[in-house]
Amino acid sequence: MNDLLTMVSAAGPLAGGWGVHWLWMRRRLSAARRDPLSGLWTRAPFERRAARLVARRPHAAVVLVDLDGFKALNDTFGHAAGDEAIRATAASLNDALAEKRGAVAARLGGDEFAAVVPLEEPFTLPWLLNALHGAFTAPFTYRGRTIRVGASIGACLTAELSSRSLPLALRRADEAMYTAKRDGGGWCVADGPDLTHSSRTGRRAGRPGTSGKEAA
């Protein structure tokens, strides 16, 4: 009996050590799935979650966003200002999606973001896109100066696709995003199975390739 108690006592610290190690590993894995600059999901974990969401929800909007004037911002104010724009944009995106239960968002790289948002009704999509556009173009402060970048947003309703496939939805949203960018920013929705048949363009974000800025 004494030998058994001795073994249990000896195993206690070892088990505790493994518990701490496992917790540390889980935190490291979780951090690896998050973009360190924005705090959003990176591409691979986003796609896994987004694919499940698209498959399970009858109505969802797949959204791709590219900031307008981001290169000009970096060239004018330096990469630190660009980093601040990414952080501010991510914070605004999180705020815009805070009440959208089940929504998942990511920074895909550079100044490109993505989100999949469940919708109760498809007709609410323009309100969602207006809110997202406002979030992405909200001004932020950098070294005492108020800076604003534009945004081109493309969206796709999964219910309008021939098959509810995340890769197909991302491709349609990407086509819509580039249509918005060619039109000077704002948002555009891939309408039906083929964007070239019809599109809806929202309000514009300013001239492409420029970043708005004003003195604080």
Tokens of residue 99, six digits: 């009440």
Active site residue 111: yes
Count Cα neighbours of 136 within 13 Å in the Cβ-side half-sphere.
31
Q: What DSSP string runs through 92-104?
A: HHHHHTTTSTT-E
How open is the CA angle 130-133-138, to the nearest 5 degrees?
A: 125
Q: Which of 68, 111, 174, 183 is catalytic?
A: 111
- Contact between 114 and 171 under an 8 Å Cβ cutoff? The reply is no
Contacts of 43 (CB under 8 A, 6+ apart): 106, 108, 109
- What are phi and psi for residue 37, nearest 5 degrees? -85, -45
Among all residues, which ones are annotated catalytic? 111
